[in-house]
Structure 1
Amino acid sequence: MRLSRKLKLLCAALAPMLALTACSGGSSTAGAEGADSGEKVKITVWSWDGTVERAVPGFQAAHPNITVEVVNAGSSQDEYKALDNAIQAGSGVPDLVMFEYFAVPYFAVPGKLTDLGELGADKLKSDYVPAAWNDVTVNGKVYALPSDYGPSAMFYNEATLKKAGIDEPPATWDEYYEAAKKIRKLGDDYYIAQDTGDIFFLLSLIWQAGGRPFKVDGTKVHIDFSDPGTTKAVAFWQRMLDEGLINTKITGWSDDWNRALNDGTLATQTMGGWLTSTLPERAPEAKGDFKVALMPQWEKGQKVGAANGGSSFGIPAAAEHKEAAFAFLEYFTHGDGLQTRVDAGAFVPNLSVLENEAFTGKPNEYFGDQKVGAVLAEATEIVPSDWQFPPFFEYARSIYGDLASPYYTSGQGSLAEILEQWRQRCIQYGNEQGFQVD
């Protein structure tokens, strides 16, 4: 799940990334204990995903020699910093760690993660949607297993749309634009969406439009926001903002956001599919009004998606019990523990789940008994799998909000100018960390 973009600068106190030596806490395969060797071991798992702990009892029953301790080491940025500190100190390194997809290269490139292919992960590839597998693959090697996914989808308040004279959710971005104008006519508080500088939403628009602003080849990184897909997506959203069709005062995850979702004045929210798990708590009064649809398309008849968030788990190169850690990792991301997590609300990119009638055919009471699983399964399977994040995206996202703030608060500049400033800052930072960035 994607968390706040207001981050501390992760690497401020760290040595340049590529200057760190690869951690060698043993061979690339596990130690002699083995997952089922009979020797008693304890593995430590760092995770902010509450569904992972649900899988522990079943795993320990099947592997009585392995004890699993799940520790919440903080939100993503805090966890990453703690992991880097433990690696540098040479002590306190956990056996299994949760990573947002874009953070995998940050730890994989300098050798801080175990190549899971050497533990047998490659045989699991066919059960994951290609885009999710791509997210955990760096330079041809798999360094994590996908655990949850955020296919972009449009959550829309059907009652508000009908109130504005819109009978069907907008299927294209042109229809979305026309719908936005109708919704604004309902009153000063009514908007089709809000945005106060969400880089993940903007990147999902770019991703879907065919833009590929980041290209990574080993330590070489190319950043360019001038390709046709990127410029099309940015120009569209700029038009929405320029014409006052987007609420730029309400910040996502705030109390005001909750109220607007609850009373229907915020008609849609295009986010990761994981919003299904939190929307009922944030907008209980809108129960039955909200529905889910694919993202609007750039061309009528298309079916192209994008992703917005999601997480995976990897094994640090310095972990002590790699085989035991991989046994648990396989159990809750692919094996018998997977369904336990799905039942607890995890949205996973496993084809064995997404193609199962038990998932796709289940009505969701909050969403008016819509079969939401079927929509999100389709949204997942249409995500293009060639998207790349730069290895230092954790830093990149931490500075985007500050660069975008003057525009969203006082109208200074434009999205294109913000992206150019962001590009220059990322190039400077990446080169300082030992990459070749242009």
Structure 2
Amino acid sequence: MRKTLVVLSVVMMLVSLNFGATKITVWGMGQGKSLEQLSKLFMEEYPEYEVDFQAIPWSNAYEKILTSIAGRQVPDVAQMGTTWMAPFGSMGAFEDLAPYIESSEVVKPENFFEGAWETGIVDGKQFGIPWHVDVRAMFYRTDLLAQVGYDHAPQTWDELYDAVKKLHENGSRYGIALYQPQDNYQTFFPFVWQNGGDILDSQGNVTVDQHEFVEALEYYTRFFTEGLTPISGSGNIFQDFASGDTPIYFSGPWMINMTRDQTPQIDGKWDVALMPEKKSRTSFMGGSDLVIFRDSKNKEGAWKFIEFASRPENQLLAYQITNELPAARQAWEDPLLQADPMIATFGEQLNDAKAPVNVPEFHEIAAAIDRMVQEVIYGRKTPEQAAQDLKKEIEKILK
């Protein structure tokens, strides 16, 4: 009897010590510093879980994810680039998060920016929760614009063209930088959205031959054909901005500190503004989502981790670590983000930002759009012809 009591006491002691915490595997892309730090904080709050965090370089992340899915050796939680949601989501790799969201107080659609929330939707199912967001805004030289009669950033399409032309006539080699070495669609497509156009309509029909798209293409390529922006890039964007060769360009929030660090000679002579308006001021929305894999071995713990990462205070902490913008609206109420007017402008732009169409074939479509823009820039096709040919190519891609 005494021996039995001793055995029971040992068992109870092991249980009370929570022997063998439940493991959660988390993959963070790039250096993953913010998710790594949050993993440590998560374990402090939830000692019943042990987080095995792994940083996965972006360069080989796609292939690693494919291999893990094929071998059914997936992590519980992973950071997923927004344009990767559709390829993996459409193959059934992710857990549908709708049931978890229904019972959550933290993860609700209204708690996030609309454009960010939509990045996690594939085929009508919510597979991802916004982790951080990426959005574009206008960088401009306040001093040079003042010289051509603008005491403010160009507010509309008409003002943007007028200002760029006047800047060029005033001595700037170009008035604006629009070219990107890769993913040029990220600069072009906001103009399509601002004009009410898109790639697909709500029924999935290709709409790039419609007036809204063609007009945006005409407007965008005009800067190139009139010599107001370099066709293949003009060198170092920081040097060109500082010299006045390209006094306006569009980019993300990471450029704020980089510009301050690399071009201190123009401090106080530049600022950040919202995108120019036609029918809207819509900008490009990127970033990453957090997902749970369908073959996860610990979905309950994985969801707790996502909820933890989605808290506004933890999104704010992630921003402090990496400068990646929070996806949670409430985080933007913090003085830390409001204290810098330039960062606050990006927060305002997030209210009118959109992600590209969420289909598995998007990368092929994006490449086709880049080729189409080049054909118009170099005069090989008219905007109308290029748009019609693009429609046929996208329809072929989607078959």
Q: Provide the TM-score with structure 2 as the length reference.
A: 0.82
The answer to whether 1:148 aligns with 2:132 is yes
Q: Deviations over 1:75-129 (max 9, x none)?
A: 4xx42232123212333x2222222323212222221111122333774222112
Retained in 1: the 8 A contact 2:312–2:328? no
Q: How many residues are treated as equivalent by the alignment?
A: 374
1:306 is the counterpart of 2:276? no
Please give the residue correspondences for 1:201-220 in structure 2 after superposition, counting only pairs within 5 Å: 201-215=187-201
Query: How far apart, CA to CA, are the structure 2 residues paired with 1:244 and 1:259?
Result: 19
Distance 1:68 1:179 in 2: 53
CA distance in 1, matches of 2:338, 2:397: 47
Q: Which structure has the highest helix share of the two?
A: 2
Q: Is 1:358 matched up with 2:335?
A: yes
Query: Would the alpha carbon gap of residues 63 and 215 (structure 1) be closer, same or farther in structure 2, given more than 3 Å must change?
Result: same
Describe the shift of the 1:291–1:222 C-alpha distance in structure 2 as closer, same or farther (beyond 3 A).
same
In 2, Cα distance between equivalents of 1:173 and 1:195: 18
- Return the alpha-carbon distance in structure 2 between the equivalents of residues 37 and 116 of structure 1: 30
The 1:285–1:84 alpha-carbon spacing in structure 2 relative to 1, beyond 3 Å, is farther
- Distance in 1 between the 2:302 and 2:50 partners? 9
Deviation per CA, 1:199-251, whole angstroms, max 9, x where unpaired? 1111111112211222366xxx4222123322221121122222221222316
Distance (whole Å) between structure 1 residues aligned to residue 197 and residue 375 of structure 2: 25
Question: Pick from 418, 425, 429: which aligns with 2:393?
Answer: 425
Question: What is the aligned partner in structure 2 of residue 97 from structure 1?
Answer: 78
| Structure 1 residue 152: Cα displacement | 3.2
- Asked whether 1:395 is paired with 2:364, we answer yes
- Of 327, 337, 346, 1:376 maps to 346
TM-superposed deviation, 1:177: 0.7
Which 5+ residue runs of structure 2 have no aligned equivalent?
1-17
Q: Which amino acid aligns with 1:339?
A: L
The 1-side partners of 2:147 and 2:155 are apart by: 18
In structure 2, distance between residues paired with 1:145 and 1:237? 33
Give the superposition deviation at 1:310: 2.0
* TM-aligned CA deviation for residue 155 of structure 1: 1.4
Q: How does 1:150-169 map to 2 (within 5 A)?
A: 150-169=134-153
Answer with 269-278 or 286-295: which moved more.
269-278
Q: Which runs of 5 or more residues in structure 1 are unaligned?
A: 1-35, 364-370, 432-438
Q: Which has more radius of gyration?
A: 2
Q: Which residue does the alignment assign to 1:106?
A: 87
* 1:74 and 2:58 matched: yes
TM-score by length of 1: 0.76
The letter of the residue matching 2:215 is K
TM-aligned CA distance change 1:120 to 1:39, over 3 Å: farther
Q: Residue 117 of structure 1 aligns with which residue? A: 98
Is the contact made by 1:47 and 1:71 (CA closer than 8 Å) also made in structure 2?
A: yes
What one-letter code is carried by the residue in structure 1 that aligns with 2:218? A
Q: Which residue of the other structure, out of 283, 286, 297, is the alignment partner of 1:320?
A: 297
Aligned-pair distance for 1:342?
2.1
After the TM superposition, which of the residue ranges 271-280 and 138-147 deviates more from structure 2? 271-280
Matched residues in 2 for 1:173 and 1:390: separation? 29
Is 1:235–2:221 an aligned residue pair? Answer: no
CA distance in 2, matches of 1:118, 1:171: 43
Q: How far has the Cα of 1:176 moved from its partner?
A: 0.7
1:199 corresponds to 2:185: yes
**8 Å contact kept, 1:304–1:384:** no
Helix, strand or coil at the partner of 1:214: coil
Change (3 A) 1:121 1:195: farther
Deviation of 1:298 (Å):
1.3
Report the aligned-residue RMSD. Answer: 2.9
